[in-house]
Amino acid sequence: MAETTKEKNHKETIKPDEKNLIYRVNEFKENMSKYRELSDSELIHLVKSGEIKPFDELVRRHEVKIHDLCYKMVKNYEDARDMAQETFLKAYRNINKFDGHSKFSTWLYRIAVNTCLNYLKGRKPSEEIHEEILGGAKDDPVERYKNVKLREQIYIAIDKLPNVQRTVFTLRALEDLSYKEISEILKKPISTVKVNYHLAIKNLKNYLKGKV
C-alpha cells in the first residue's frame, strides 16, 4: 500500500537525533522487560558479572517494602527515603558478599534494619512528647495497632521500647515476618527473637494500660 502524504511528512520530521533517542528508549524497555522475567538470583549473578541495569530491576522489586520498613522504624518520610537509598547503595557496594544462603530480601532487610538502627542511635529526639498514650478497648498491642485512630499512640509506645525489642516487634507485628526470617535478619537465635517479641508485647501493654 502506498504511503500517504501525512505518513511521508511524519517520517521527514523525525531527525537523526530523535531516531537515536527512540531507539535507545525502545532498547531500554526491551532490556527491562527481559530483566523482569529473571529471578533475584539470576539478576544478582548478572550484577556480580559487572552489569548495572539488573540492579535497577532489583531496586524496583524491593524498594516499596524497604522504604515501608524504614518508615516504620524512623517515623519520618524524608529520613525513610534516605535510609532506603542508603540501604540499596550498601547492597550494591557489597553485592559480592551476598552468598545466597538466605533470600535476597532477607539480606536487604538486614541492611535496612542496621542502617536505621545506626541512624536512630545518633539522632536526637525531634520533639518532646506532650500527650499521654491513648488506650483502646482491646489489650493486645498488635490488634490495637490495626485501629487507625490509635496508630499514632502505638507508634509513640513502640518508640519507648529498647532497640532490639522495637526492631523485633516491627518486623514481626508490622512486617508480618516469621521468627525464622527475623532470626536470619538480626543474626540472633530464634529463642532470643521470641523472648524479645514477648517482652515488647509486655512492655507495650504496660505503656498502654489504663490509658483513655
Distance from C-alpha of 95 to C-alpha of 45, rounded to nearest angstrom: 9
Residue 53: its pLDDT value, please? 87
Residue with cell 533517542: 21
Query: CA 129, CA 56: separation in Å to the nearest integer?
Result: 40
- Average pLDDT across the chain, whole number: 78
Q: Do residues 63 and 85 lie in contact, with contact meaning Cβ atoms separated by under 8 Å?
A: no
Q: How far is the C-alpha of 72 from the C-alpha of 151, rounded, in Å?
A: 11
What is the pLDDT, as a whole number, of residue 92?
Answer: 93
Rounded to the nearest 10 degrees, how much is the dihedral formed by the CA atoms of 173, 192, 194, 79?
A: -10
Q: Using an 8 Å Cβ cutoff, are 26 and 33 in contact?
A: no
The pLDDT value recorded for residue 107 is 93
Each residue of 77-107: pLDDT tens digit? Answer: 899 999 999 999 999 999 999 988 889 999 9
Q: Is the pLDDT of residue 200 over 60?
A: yes
Report, in angstroms and rounded to the nearest whole number, the Rg of the chain calculated over CA atoms: 24
Closest alpha carbon to 198 in 174, 157, 175, 165 = 165
What gap in Å lies between CA 53 and CA 18, rounded to an integer? 23
Mean pLDDT confidence for 143-170: 77
Grid coordinates representing 184 are 536470619
Domains and CATH numbers, the chain: 17-123 (1.10.1740.10), 132-212 (1.10.10.10)
Going by C-alpha positions, the residue among 178, 66, 158 that lies closest to residue 150 is 158
pLDDT band at 206 (very low <50, low <70, confident <90, very high): confident
Residue range 62-82: mean pLDDT, rounded: 91
* Cβ-proximal residues to 68 (8 Å cutoff; 6+ apart), any chain: 175
Q: Helix crossing, 104-122 with 40-48: angle to 10°? A: 70
Over the stretch 26-41, which tens digit does the pLDDT of each residue have? 555 556 668 888 999 9
For residue 168, pLDDT beyond 80: yes
133 — pLDDT class (breaks 50, 70, 90): very low
The model's confidence at residue 60, banded by pLDDT at 50, 70 and 90, is very high
Q: Which three cell numbers stand for residue 12?
A: 521527514
The 8-class DSSP code of residue 187 comes to: T
